Structure 1
Amino acid sequence: MGMYDRKSPYMLPEEPKTQAVCTCGKTGNPPYCDGSHQGTGKEPAIIQMEKGKTVAICGCGKSANIPYCDGSCSR
């Protein structure tokens, strides 16, 4: 199953830190980048968490706000 084969977002309780999130859909550790994008022309999204909170990361690949879910999977 690939990163963008889901019909729901990845709900992640994140701690304050900088995180690389996959945007190519090829990662073996979804939704985090594992370097699989090499040669695709795509780069991971770098998100900076200022404080601990839960974030919704797109699981379908259709969001207009990648890497974040915008509800496209439910339409």
Structure 2
Amino acid sequence: MAEVEINNTQLFYSVKGEGEPLVLTHGGPFSDHRIWDYQIESVMDHYNVLYPQGTVNSMADDPGRQW
């Protein structure tokens, strides 16, 4: 898992595959990157898939921050 700092908040993301970039996101407090598991496996032979953790996820620096 990789990380990047944006606006003083650490965000974590993963990358799989090769090819053109494809960014998958998730929304809502009851979902995370795992909702894409089956889709990632089926497209990673053709795309460089990036799937970030959301800022409300417990892996982010400030999970209680209001957006």
TM surpasses 0.5: no
- Write 1 or 2 for the structure with the bigger share of helix: 2
TM normalised by structure 2 equals 0.29
Give 1 or 2: higher strand fraction: 2
Q: Structure 1 length as normaliser, TM-score?
A: 0.27
| Larger gyration radius, structure 1 or structure 2 | 2
